[in-house]
Amino acid sequence: MNEQEILYDFYRARAKNGQHVQLVTDLLEDIPREVAVQYGFLPQWTAFSTAGGNEVACYKADKGYLETPEIVQTDVVRDLTFGFYREIVRAYAEFCPEEEQRKAGSTLAFAFKETGNAARMDYTGETATLTDLVERLRTEPYATALTTIGMDEMSDKIEAANQAFHEIYSQRSTDVRQRVQSASMKTLRPLTDEAFNTLAKAINALYAVNEMVTQDEETRTALGKVINDVNDTLMNFRRILGMGGSGKDEEETPTPEPEEPAVHEITAFYPKEGANPDKPLEFPRNKTAVLEGIGLKLVDSPEGKKAQLVLINYVDQRMPHEDSALLLNTDEKIEFTMMYDAAEGQYNFQIETYSNGTEEAVIIKYPETITLV
Query: Digits of tens for pLDDT over the chain (373 positions)?
Result: 445 788 776 556 567 888 888 999 999 999 999 999 999 999 999 999 999 988 888 777 665 544 467 777 888 899 999 999 999 999 999 999 999 999 999 999 999 988 877 887 777 788 999 999 999 999 999 999 999 999 999 999 999 999 999 888 877 666 555 554 445 777 888 899 999 999 999 999 999 998 889 889 999 999 999 999 999 998 888 887 765 444 444 434 444 444 444 578 898 899 988 888 788 899 999 999 999 988 899 999 888 889 999 999 877 788 999 988 999 999 899 999 999 888 888 999 999 999 887 888 899 999 889 999 9
Longest dimension (CA), the chain: 104
H or E element that contains 305: none
**Which has the closest alpha carbon to 323: 301, 341, 300, 350?**
300
Please provide the DSSP assignment of 20-54 as one string: HHHHHHHHHHHS-HHHHHHHT-HHHHHHHHHHHHH
Rounded Cα–Cα distance for residues 33 and 50 (Å): 12
Q: Which residues pair with 289 in a beta bridge?
A: 271, 336
Q: Is the peptide bond before 32 cis (omega within 30 degrees of 0)?
A: no
Rounded Cα–Cα distance for residues 99 and 317 (Å): 35
User: Exposed, middle or buried: residue 239 (CB in 10 Å: 0-12, 13-18, 19+)?
Assistant: exposed
Rounded Cα–Cα distance for residues 211 and 118 (Å): 73
Rounded Cα–Cα distance for residues 297 and 353 (Å): 7
Rounded Cα–Cα distance for residues 368 and 362 (Å): 18
Determine the CATH number of domain 265-372: 2.70.50.70
Q: How many residues does the chain have?
A: 373
Burial 41-60 (b: 16+ CB within 10 A, else e): bbebbebbbebbeebbebbe
Q: Which residues pair with 266 in a beta bridge?
A: 293
**Domain segments of the chain as ranges:** 1-249, 265-372
